[in-house]
Amino acid sequence: MMWNEMIESMSREEMRKLQSARLKHIVEHAYHNTPFYRKKMQEMDVTPADIQSIDDIVKLPFTVKQDLRDNYPFGLMATPMSEIVRLHASSGTTGKPIVVGYTRKDLSMWSEVVARCLTAYGASKNDIVQISYGYGLFTGGLGAHAGVEAIGGTVIPISSGNTEKQIQLMHDFGANILCCTPSYALYLAETIHASDIPLEEFKLRIGVFGAEPWTDNMRKELEEKLNIKAYDIYGLTEICGPGVGGECACQNGTHLWEDHFFPEIVDPATLQPVAPGEPGELVFTTLTKEGMPMLRYRTRDLTSLNYEKCACGRTAVRMNRILGRSDDMLIIRGVNVFPSQVESVLLEMPEFEPHYFIVVDRVNNTDTFQVQVELRPAYYSDEMNKVLALKKKIAARMQSVIGLQPDIKIVEPRSIERSMGKAKHVQDNRKLV
């Protein structure tokens, strides 16, 4: 099932025509209404007249998160505030938050793209959807909410937190679909298994997980533990929130709604486009957003794109799994380390819980790399040697996946923080001058 079959299965050629027309329009809009973009383009000696087709996008300047902070709060809006009907903000871990504004038309575009995702997962008006993303300034809750209303489903707007109540309502209301971060879903699954309500009494069939990168192993674990099909929903506040893309039943890449969000992959070091299919940093240009258009916004997400037509019938480009972030990538003793690699090792080893915490430090000019993990209950032992053997085993496995052997520290059950939202997995204590 497709929500917007005409767009979702449009030929590549038609899509490029549509993208070209929309790019011309949005560049004019941004140039004439946002001093920030006008100045940047003038510095590069580019005017809207230079943009005649989607191929000309490479002439445009990049935008980065710092630009949003520098223009806090409303400096990047391209319409008068009287046209802005909603604000969202993402809590920056450092400094000011970043703020985005939506016009009425932007909100309707947003609910349309979330509706496309939900339909692709197999959701319909017959579903009861529990939205456990936070409601408020975070885009997750209200973004998913509008999409469910668009397809006519029943929303349980429970927001995040209060795990016991989440489970009770999920059970009593017979929720079919759960929307939350994958790490919170794992926590919910653990809590359900620890409760006295049997899993068979729940009606969940679909999980809509996003807001943090996850792996196929994590998908497998969530599908088994909750007896659901688990799908990725991709998005970021700067571009619009959840719904920039979503998977289909094939679970073979995340379809990006490229009639609204044009994706490019560039080499994060040189900023030059990579060869088709090669991995690099994902960059988006919003093709229709009026309130706060983004030109070539660098997401810092590392991935690759697949333009082949999908078995589901959609022609919309597919994004492969996110390999990591170009900015939370750790360089330890010269080795690039992605927290997702640590996670993938944990998920393939039944002896360990899927939760972890990485501590990086520098002692005597040498980087230290510690990974804290928890044993699963059945693997505690009276024998020191058995526990030490497990420690060795996981260290060796990580060495082969990451190319660097971590110091494994087995910690007591539940001492690694279970997050309600985005999990914090890394503490880097190095002071690098």
Give the footprint of another protein on this chain (CB under 8 A): 375, 377, 380-384, 387-388, 409-415
Shortest Cβ distance from residue 406 to another protein (Å)? 13
Rounded to a whole number of angstroms, the minimum distance from the CB of residue 412 to another protein is: 5
- Which one-letter amino acid corresponds to residue 420? M
Cβ at position 405, least distance to another protein in Å: 16
Minimum distance, C-beta of residue 222 to another protein, in the bound complex (Å): 23
Contacts of 225 (CB under 8 A, 6+ apart): 186, 189, 190, 193
- The two three-digit tokens of residue 217, written as one number: 């192993």
Strand ranges in 163-205 using DSSP code E only, listed in sequence order: 177-180
Please identify, using beta-carbon distances, which residue of 135 and 379 lies nearer to another protein. 379
Task: For another protein, give the closer residue by CB, 43 or 412.
Answer: 412
As measured in angstroms, the least distance from the Cβ of 409 to another protein is 5
- Return the number of the residue (144 or 394) whose C-beta is nearest another protein: 394
What's the rounded Cα separation, in Å, for the pair 261 and 282?
Answer: 11
Question: 61 preceded by cis ω (within 30°)?
Answer: no
Element (DSSP H or E) covering residue 319: strand 318-319
Of residues 137, 121, 126, 237, the one with CA closest to residue 179: 121
Beta carbon of residue 371, minimum distance to another protein (angstroms, whole number): 12
Whether 303 and 282 have beta carbons less than 8 Å apart is answered as yes
Ramachandran angles phi, psi of 403, nearest 5°: 90, 15
Question: Closest separation between CB of residue 224 and another protein, Å?
Answer: 23
373 strand-pairing partners: 356, 410
Query: How far apart are alpha carbons 36 and 267 in whole angstroms?
Result: 24
Residue type, 330: L
For another protein, the closer of residues 137 and 410 by Cβ is: 410
Q: Are 359 and 427 in contact (CB under 8 A)?
A: yes
C-beta of 102 vs 356, nearer to another protein? 356
Nearer to another protein, 275 or 378 (CB): 378
Nearer to another protein, 128 or 387 (CB): 387
**Closer residue to another protein in complex, CB, 114/375:** 375
Q: Pick the closer one to another protein by CB: 334 or 377.
A: 377
Collect all residues with Cβ–Cβ distance below 8 Å to 413 and sequence separation of at least 6: 374, 375, 377
Q: Checking phi first, is residue 53 left (phi over 0); if not, alpha (psi -120 to 50) or beta?
A: beta
Take residue 304 and report the two structure tokens written for it. Answer: 């690759």
**What φ, ψ does residue 158 adopt, rounded to 5°?**
-80, -20
* CB 264 to another protein: min, Å: 46
CB of 194 to another protein, least distance (A): 11
Q: What does each C-alpha distance from 2 to 117, 118, 128, 316 come to in angstroms?
A: 9, 9, 19, 12
Give me the least distance between CB of 346 and another protein, in Å please. 17
Which residues sit opposite 261 in a β-bridge?
A: 286
Closer to another protein by Cβ: residue 198 or 377: 377
- Taking alpha carbons only, the member of 94, 70, 140, 139 closest to residue 328 is 94
Residue 108 CA to residue 130 CA, distance in Å, equals 21
